[in-house]
Chain A
């Protein structure tokens, strides 16, 4: 069965610091999909990124970047120059090829607090 582990339960940083959220996954499928979602205090989960298992190219979107390493089964998320608005719970998730993209196994989440 698939599993997603986010080792950091809580992270606290000061504004403008860089922060990396770790995600390690387990799956027997050779084709799978990895996601990051953000859950702000309002409670509504917001999609950040999807990465296919066959595409190990890293991605940067503004202050956000993602490092996918198949060899270590990791899909880490870095926020550069963090801001107070980045404070939220961040979830890493996995979907296997035999199921819908949206049938996700989530990690336990990392609570990120950015202090001014």
Chain B
């Protein structure tokens, strides 16, 4: 497809289980971001990948969260030993690296993966 694709769209898991969320960015986009959206915390930045550079992990809330991006394309966000407070919508976004002009810095978001931890 032409847009950012995320899977699964919904995931229900039991507390303590590990989950993996997948993001397929727009072809050719070098930057990829993960955000989390929850009622209590709003939209929060989690992690950012840019090309082959080391990722910016400054937003990851704990060491139970990790992400990787293979081959500069698909990314997987992994949450280990899930807790109820991890319940949220996890949004992935990608962007082309443009420094100026209209639309520079525009993020293209997927529809998100809704995670519910019971």
CB B31 to nearest CB in A, in angstroms, measures: 6
Residue with the greatest number of chain A CB neighbours at <10 A, chosen from B3, B33, B59: B33
Q: Would you call A103 and B45 a contact (CB within 8 A)?
A: yes
Q: Would you call B109 and A44 a contact (CB within 8 A)?
A: yes
- Say if the beta carbon of B12 comes within 8 Å of chain A: no
**Contact flag A108-B42 (CB < 8 Å), given A43-B89, A47-B108, A102-B33:** yes
Q: Would you call A103 and B33 a contact (CB within 8 A)?
A: yes
- Say if the beta carbon of A45 comes within 8 Å of chain B: yes
Main secondary structure of the interface of B (DSSP, over half): strand
- Say if the beta carbon of B28 comes within 8 Å of chain A: no
A43 to B10, CA, bound (A): 13
Q: Would you call B111 and A100 a contact (CB within 8 A)?
A: no
- Say if the beta carbon of A42 comes within 8 Å of chain B: yes
**Contact flag A45-B91 (CB < 8 Å), given A50-B106, A106-B42:** yes
- Say if the beta carbon of A13 comes within 8 Å of chain B: no
Q: Would you call B91 and A50 a contact (CB within 8 A)?
A: no
Q: Would you call B107 and A102 a contact (CB within 8 A)?
A: yes
Q: Would you call A100 and B42 a contact (CB within 8 A)?
A: no
| Interchain CB contact (< 8 A) of A100 among B44, B48, B112 | B48
CB B51 to nearest CB in A, in angstroms, measures: 11
- Say if the beta carbon of A66 comes within 8 Å of chain B: no
**Contact flag A101-B95 (CB < 8 Å), given A35-B105, A50-B103:** yes
- Say if the beta carbon of A19 comes within 8 Å of chain B: no
| Interchain CB contact (< 8 A) of B111 among A37, A43, A91, A109 | A43
- Say if the beta carbon of A64 comes within 8 Å of chain B: no
Q: Would you call A43 and B107 a contact (CB within 8 A)?
A: no
Q: Can you give 24 contacting A-B residue pairs, CB < 8 Å?
A: A33-B105, A37-B107, A43-B89, A43-B111, A43-B112, A44-B112, A45-B91, A45-B107, A47-B103, A47-B106, A47-B107, A50-B103, A93-B43, A100-B31, A101-B105, A102-B48, A102-B93, A103-B56, A104-B43, A104-B107, A106-B42, A106-B43, A106-B44, A109-B43
7 further A-B contacts with Cβ under 8 Å, apart from A43-B89, A50-B104, A91-B43, are A42-B111, A45-B107, A47-B106, A99-B56, A102-B33, A102-B107, A104-B107
